Amino acid sequence: MSPARDLIGCHVSTAGGLHQAPARADELGASVMQIFTANQRTWKAPALSDEQVSAFREALDASSVSVVMSHDSYLINLANPTEEMRARSMAAFLAEYERCTRLGIPLLNFHPGAHLGEGEERAIALVADGMKRTLDALPDSGTMLVVEATAGQGTNLGHRLEHLAAILEAVSAPERTGVCIDTQHVFAAGYDLKSERGYLAFFKQLDQLVGLDRLVGFHVNDSKTALASRVDRHEELGKGELGKTALARLARDKRFFKVPMFLETPDDERYAAEIKLLRKWRSTKE
């Protein structure tokens, strides 16, 4: 992988094979990329062949992409209280971790899951247990498990920083675990990133509860829904309830220049333009 000028990119399609993604990222001007390593709507994925792994790694080495993050299947719920569905989630999660390990992908991002009425305390313990079992299964893996902050729809965990802190503390593997902050999610969860005061307060609390050193990725999205709506709906940059000023503040924050930023906005045909927009905001003084 070639050295990148920054750590700004987006989610990239793997249509036609995983090896197609790095060239697509280059075309978009992305220096980092997020991908699905398998169909996110199915429980089981075909095993990766040695040829597929080699093709992906070679394509990545030939590209300008410096960081890759995988997003696991939306079907997976490590907090599921029912034994059968939790076992299915664990199997799919471990398979994803194995794919990332083989492909040399350093970050595996996932939503912590939903407690389905059984309560947050038990759910946090279940998620942490699933993470520990996964890490123990591949002790030499270079892939980090990354817990994503959520908007808090339904019974989903992760909409409070206390949830993320409790999960990481229970796993007790700081070198192999981290967090990803989705700007839309935390805004919808009730953290006021829009105001400067709210922005500063949020990252102060993140530092106190989790540690800024545990922050390994951002999903940069505007929000279709209002502050504290608890609804997960992404919007194009500068066109939503968060708005340009708030997102530009994040882009310019020097504390996070070494933290990868991945766009997940709704129109992937605008990714190239939005990557340029983020870079413009980063280079423009207030």
* 120 assigned to active site: no
Helix (H/G/I), strand (E/B), else coil: 16: coil
Residues in contact with 273: Cβ distance below 8 Å, sequence separation at least 6, in sequence order? none
Judge whether 74 counts as a catalytic residue: yes
Q: Active-site residue among 6, 98, 222, 232?
A: 232
Q: Which of 99, 185, 191, 241 is catalytic?
A: 185
Q: Of 19, 111, 159, 160, which is the active-site residue? A: 111
Q: 71, 99, 102, 214: which is the annotated catalytic residue?
A: 71
Catalytic residue among 264, 268, 270, 279: 264
Residues 193, 195, 198, CA angle at the centre, nearest 5°? 60
Of the listed 41, 51, 83, 140, which one is catalytic?
A: 41
Active site residue 264: yes
Residue 269 annotated among the catalytic residues of the structure: no
| Residue 111 annotated among the catalytic residues of the structure | yes
Question: In terms of C-beta density within 10 A (0-12 exposed, 13-18 middle, 19 or more buried), how is residue 17 classed?
Answer: exposed
Catalytic residue among 182, 222, 241, 274: 182
Task: Look up 11 and say whether it is catalytic.
Answer: no
Q: Single out the residue of 257, 79, 69 nearest to residue 146, CA to CA.
A: 69
Active-site residue among 6, 26, 98, 148? 148
163 has catalytic annotation: no
Could you say which DSSP state residue 47 is in? P
Among residues 72, 199, 234, 274, which one is catalytic?
A: 234
Catalytic status, residue 72? no
Active site residue 182: yes
**H or E segment and range at residue 236:** none
Secondary structure class of 261 (helix, strand, coil):
strand
Q: Decide if 97 is catalytic.
A: no
Give me the catalytic one of 96, 219, 235, 271. 219
Candidate list 74, 121, 133, 196, residue with the active-site label: 74
Phi then psi for residue 95, to 5 deg, are -65, -40
Beta-bridge partner residues of 144? 107
Tokens, residue 72: 């696991």
Tell me whether residue 115 is one of the annotated catalytic residues: no
Hey, which residues are catalytic here? 41, 71, 74, 111, 148, 182, 185, 219, 232, 234, 264
